[in-house]
């Protein structure tokens, strides 16, 4: 499993040229990348969300598109449009920015619901349909969406169907004292993104995904994953629990994390480490639970304590 550690090390070192700290955030982003999932980065402006995405895209050396979501953005601005070519005397399809390996959907909650929904097919089926014709998207394909959770004016909350398609939700958080001082010294004179160069390839990422799919998950760990997901649907404070898509995301993310950590098998700690970022954004609490000051994290903590952790046969 040394190849995974080498690749993760190369990417982490490369991204650190542009991003100070945030190793845990980067690791979870790579978990989603290797698991074939999408990421929702939810945080306040100015903490490095866009820089992180651009640094990862440059590290892979893949095609990259940034879509700035605004209320007047149209679905065709994302998926592409069919136009009539006068010279050829026929209609031809002009690809939109979605036809890239990595898509930065910046401030996705500023787009209208109709425009947001134009990404649903792309995120789930890795294709877009325009004027009755279906076009496959490149592999690997990954959407990294950002949104500001604080500002509500001029925004459209993401519908559950959209949120459920994100394998992981993460936040950057503010830097600590030392990191913020380092940002002052490094960013005062240089554009550090210019120093980020490709350290891996699209083909290597595809191969890594295949290897991550081979990670062993014991039946007892699979039971643990399913019990956690089902408990969210049965909990007294939950109005809408985790979907089967969420259960599968937790399974795939756990395999990916085990691979990154250099193991050939998943352990329960992998599952526990990823539950909050994989499941929390998929559940909706009852209004009375929110009034009592409860949130998704506290409910999942209760669920953890109620489910016995498997201890045997995890090595295959």
Regarding beta strands 127-130 and 133-136, do their DSSP bridges make them parallel or antiparallel, or are they unpaired?
Answer: antiparallel
For the chain, how many structural domains are there in total?
A: 2
- Residue 201 shares a structural domain with residue 228: no
Is 315 contained in some domain? no
- Residue 277 shares a structural domain with residue 134: no
- Residue 84 shares a structural domain with residue 194: yes
Is 76 contained in some domain? yes
Q: In the listed set 205, 233, 261, which residue is the last one of a domain according to the structure?
A: 205
- Residue 140 shares a structural domain with residue 252: no
- Residue 123 shares a structural domain with residue 238: no
Residue 48, domain extent = 2-205
Q: Is this prediction's pTM over 0.75?
A: yes
Is 263 contained in some domain? yes
Is 30 contained in some domain? yes
- Residue 200 shares a structural domain with residue 127: yes
Q: Cα separation of 45 and 42, whole Å?
A: 9
Is 228 contained in some domain? yes
- Residue 230 shares a structural domain with residue 175: no
Q: In the listed set 154, 172, 205, which residue is the last one of a domain according to the structure?
A: 205
Regarding beta strands 142-147 and 39-42, do their DSSP bridges make them parallel or antiparallel, or are they unpaired?
Answer: parallel
Q: Indicate the length of the chain as a whole number.
A: 316
CATH number at residue 286: 1.10.8.80
Determine if residue 263 is left, alpha or beta; phi over 0 gives left, psi from -120 to 50 gives alpha, anything else beta. beta
For the chain, give the mean pLDDT. Answer: 89
CATH number at residue 53: 3.40.50.300
Secondary structure string (H, E, C) spanning 210-228: HHHCCCECCHHHHHHHHHH
- Residue 164 shares a structural domain with residue 74: yes
Concatenated DSSP letters of 185-251? HHHTT--GGGG----S-HHHHHHHHHHHTT-B--HHHHHHHHHHHHHHHH-TTEEE---HHHHHHHH
Q: In the listed set 185, 205, 225, which residue is the last one of a domain according to the structure?
A: 205
3-state secondary structure at position 154: coil
- Residue 21 shares a structural domain with residue 160: yes
- Residue 148 shares a structural domain with residue 291: no
Is 316 contained in some domain? no
- Residue 220 shares a structural domain with residue 177: no
Is 311 contained in some domain? no
Distance (Å) of CA 133 to CA 74, 124, 128, 193, 272: 18, 17, 8, 38, 42
Closest CA to 277 of 13, 35, 6, 2: 35
Determine the pLDDT at residue 223: 96
- Residue 22 shares a structural domain with residue 166: yes
Local confidence pLDDT in tens for the 316 residues of the chain? 555 557 788 888 888 888 888 888 999 999 999 999 999 998 877 778 888 888 888 898 889 999 999 999 999 999 999 888 888 888 888 999 999 999 999 999 999 988 998 899 999 999 999 888 899 999 999 999 998 876 666 778 888 888 999 999 998 888 888 888 888 887 766 677 888 888 888 999 999 999 999 999 999 999 999 999 999 999 999 999 999 999 999 999 999 999 999 999 999 999 999 999 999 999 999 999 899 999 999 999 999 889 998 875 655 5
What tens digit of pLDDT does each residue of 249-303 get? 999 999 999 999 999 999 999 999 999 999 999 999 999 989 999 999 999 999 9
Is 192 contained in some domain? yes
């Amino acid at each position: 499993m040394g190849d995974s550690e080498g690749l993760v090390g190369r990417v982490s070192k490369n991204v650190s040229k542009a991003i100070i700290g945030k190793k845990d955030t980067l690791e979870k982003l790579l978990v989603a990348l290797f698991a074939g999932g999408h990421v929702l980065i939810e945080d306040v402006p100015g903490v490095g969300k866009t820089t992180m995405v651009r640094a990862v895209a440059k590290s892979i050396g893949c095609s990259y598109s940034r879509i700035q979501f605004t209320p007047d953005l149209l679905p065709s601005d994302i998926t592409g449009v069919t136009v009539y070519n006068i010279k050829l005397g026929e209609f031809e399809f002009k690809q939109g920015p979605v036809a890239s390996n990595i898509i930065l959907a910046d401030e996705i909650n500023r787009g209208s619901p109709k425009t947001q929904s134009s990404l649903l097919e792309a995120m789930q089926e890795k294709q877009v349909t325009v004027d009755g014709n279906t076009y496959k998207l490149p592999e690997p394909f990954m959407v990294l969406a950002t949104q500001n959770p604080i500002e509500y004016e001029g925004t459209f909350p993401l519908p559950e169907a959209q949120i459920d398609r994100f394998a992981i939700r993460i936040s950057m958080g503010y830097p600590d004292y030392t990191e913020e001082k380092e940002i002052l010294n490094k960013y005062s004179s240089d554009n550090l993104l210019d120093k980020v160069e490709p350290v891996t390839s699209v083909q290597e990422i595809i191969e890594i995904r295949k290897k991550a799919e081979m990670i062993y998950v014991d039946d007892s760990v699979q039971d643990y994953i399913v019990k956690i997901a089902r408990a969210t649907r049965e909990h007294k404070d939950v109005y809408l629990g985790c979907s089967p898509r969420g259960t599968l995301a937790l399974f795939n993310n756990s395999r990916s994390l085990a691979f990154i950590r250099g193991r050939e098998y998943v352990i329960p700690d992998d599952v526990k480490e990823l539950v909050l970022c994989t499941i929390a954004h998929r559940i909706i609490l009852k209004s009375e639970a929110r009034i009592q000051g409860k949130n998704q994290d506290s409910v999942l903590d209760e669920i953890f304590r109620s489910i016995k952790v498997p201890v045997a046969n995890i090595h295959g």
